[in-house]
Structures are given as C-alpha cells and as structure tokens.
Amino acid sequence: MAGMKHIKTERVKDVKVKITWKEIVKQRELIILSIPFVAYVLLFSYAPLIGWVMAFQKYKPKDGFFGSKFIGLDKFKFLFIDNPDFIRVIRNTLAMGVINLVLGFVFAIAFALILNEVVHKGPKKFVQTVSYLPHFLSMIIVCGILKNALSIDHGIINEILVNVHILKEPINFFTYKSLFWWIVGFGGTVWKETGWNSIIYLAAITAINPDLYEAAGIDGAGRLRKMWNITLPSIKPTIFILLLINVGGVLNSGFEIQYLLTNGLVQSVSQTIDIYVLKFGISQNDFSLGTAAGIFKSLVSVILIFLANSAAKSAGEERLF
C-alpha cells in the first residue's frame, strides 16, 4: 500500500511575492492581459449595483434611481420586523438549499465514481448520455411527472410501496410538510441534475495519472480501494471549488419547483425567498422589496463565502481566492 501515499495532489502553495514596482514590471504581461477582464467585470457586474439604491427608495420606474422617494430601511423593516413570515421563509430556503447541496454533491460524485468503474466504452457512453438528459426537461414537465408518480390515484410510487407491503394503502405524499423538502431534493436535484452535475467530475477524473493506478494495483489494491484512495482524492480540488461556490448560493435554492409543487397544506414549508418576493414585491409592482431581499441574499452569500474560503484555506485545500 505504499504507493497510495503519493496521491497528495499538488496544492496551491502560497507563494508570497511582494508587490514592488520591479515585480509589477516583471509581470506586466499578466497585468496587461487582466486589465480588459477587470474592466469588463466592473462594467457588467458592478456598475448595475447602483440599482441597489432601489431598496432604500419607494422605487417607481418612471422616477428612476435618482428621483424616487427615499424611505431608508422601510423595506427591510417590512421584511424582517413587520412580517414574521419572512423568517420562516428564510428557514425554508436555507433548509432546501442545504438539502439540495448535500444530496447534489453526494449523488453526483458517487455517480461519477461508479460510472468511472465501467470498463466497456459502449455502455459507459450510453449511461452517461441518458444520465444528463433530465437536465434538459423543463421544470414543468419534471413536476408533472413527479406529481403523477407520487399521486394517491394510481401513482407508481404508491403502487410499488403498497405491493411490497411497506404501505397499507396509498398515501398522499404532498400533504406531509416533513416530506416536502425531500421531494424537492430528490425530485428536483438528484433525479434531474445528477447526471449533469457529474460531468465536471468525470472530466476531472480524466486528468488522473494512470501510473497511480498501476502502482496501486501492484501493491495489491482492489478496485474499491483504488476508487477510494486514488480517484476520490484526485478530484478533491474540483469538489472543493464546487462546494465553495454552492455554499454561497445556498439561499438561491429555487423558485420554480417549489412554486409548481406547492399546495395550501405545505405552504408554510414550501415558500422560498424568491416566491415571497414575487407575491409581495413584483406582483405588486414593488421592485424595491425585491431589491431589498436581493441585498439580503447577497450579504449572506458573501459572508458564507468568506467563512467557507477561510476554512478551505486553513485545511490546505483548493479555494476560491
């Protein structure tokens, strides 16, 4: 098993280079190359942030950013103080975000690892092609299928469960608040996105040096051990980067699937921030509310990103910045 230990992938060694004029001149090529990109990002991503001023105004499209009445933190007050519902909505969004995150990762990585084990190219290509197809189905179609599969009225899941005697009679899955988040997770993320999410990992796996496997084989490693000790650690950087990116996006756990699957009974657990904003903001021509919620989400995301990034840094792993 000695060969295993060599799988420490070369990690970002923190190269501390002092910023001096000499160094700048030396790296001028890199600097010149990066200038257009920085300018681009400043223009297209940061300039629109002027719009954040809408959150502090009673924004009316005709008055624009500078003519609308200033109302300070009223919108934020509306969200957080006047309406206890919003806290519950944040909880829903966060819960579904975390569940989707974990499920998404576990299944995508597991699928990539398992698929990688298949030797014959034919079946492998076939399975991979099939796996990413659900990604292209619109959420409307996916929810339609989900609803039918879970229906109490001859839905296939109920039929199976009753036949193998796990259930005595069909149950209406959508009436249970406790199940809703998991239906969203498994239906929306695992079923729909596993194949698509695994593409990155499969690409990363191709970069692994074949000699490592040979060496391990000579040491007597079985396939399972090879997967666990070589393949998995080798894609760790990819995993970490994606994890970091997704942690920041945890409050964006969605809109469409929750909107399509909800009903009165599970409303209290299904409403996400985006749905709430739609109901109380956009549909009422209140763009300020939407912006205020957006600022909140951005704030949380940025905090999470910094925390996660420092954690990754201290663990010596690949990180965002």
Taking CB under 8 A as the criterion, which residues in 155-174 touch other proteins?
Answer: 172, 174
Find all residues with CB under 8 Å of 104, minimum gap 6, and list them: 189, 190, 193, 194, 197, 246
CB nearer other proteins, residue 2 or residue 17: 17
> Closest Cα to residue 50, out of 305, 295, 302?
295
3-state DSSP call for residue 301? Answer: helix
Which of the 8 DSSP states describes residue 53?
G
23 touches other proteins (CB under 8 A) = yes
129 touches other proteins (CB under 8 A) = yes
Binding flags for other proteins, 268-287, as an x/- string (CB under 8 A)? x---------xxx-xxxxxx
From the list 18-26, 67-75, 92-100, 159-167, the region that binds other proteins by CB under 8 A is 18-26
Alpha-carbon Rg of the chain, whole angstroms? 25
88 touches other proteins (CB under 8 A) = no
3-state DSSP call for residue 58? Answer: strand
Binding other proteins by CB under 8 A: which of 101, 103, 142, 308? 142
294 touches other proteins (CB under 8 A) = yes
Angle at 193 between CA 189 and CA 196, to 5 degrees: 160
313 touches other proteins (CB under 8 A) = no
From the list 86-94, 95-103, 158-166, 218-226, the region that binds other proteins by CB under 8 A is 218-226
CB nearer other proteins, residue 73 or residue 141: 141
98 touches other proteins (CB under 8 A) = no
10 touches other proteins (CB under 8 A) = yes
CB nearer other proteins, residue 206 or residue 314: 206
Question: CA–CA separation, 7 vs 230, rounded Å?
Answer: 6
Binding other proteins by CB under 8 A: which of 94, 139, 182, 298? 298
Binding other proteins by CB under 8 A: which of 5, 8, 21, 32? 32
Q: What is the Cβ-side half-sphere exposure of residue 320, based on CA atoms within 13 angstroms?
A: 16
The per-residue DSSP string of 149-162 comes to HT-TTT-HHHHHHH
Q: How far is the CB of 306 from other proteins (least distance, A)?
A: 9
130 touches other proteins (CB under 8 A) = yes
Binding other proteins by CB under 8 A: which of 1, 35, 73, 160? 35
Binding other proteins by CB under 8 A: which of 4, 74, 98, 147? 147
Binding flags for other proteins, 169-208, as an x/- string (CB under 8 A)? ---x-xx---------------x--xx---xx-xxxxxxx
Question: CA–CA separation, 136 vs 140, rounded Å?
Answer: 11
Q: Answer whether 51's CB lies under 8 Å from 291's CB.
A: yes
Q: Answer whether 81's CB lies under 8 Å from 98's CB.
A: no
The per-residue DSSP string of 308-320 comes to HHHHHHHTT----
Residue 147 token pair: 């609803």
25 touches other proteins (CB under 8 A) = no
Binding other proteins by CB under 8 A: which of 8, 21, 45, 163? 45
Binding other proteins by CB under 8 A: which of 74, 134, 232, 233? 134
Backbone angles phi, psi at 71, to 5 degrees: -125, 15
Question: CA–CA separation, 74 vs 57, rounded Å?
Answer: 8
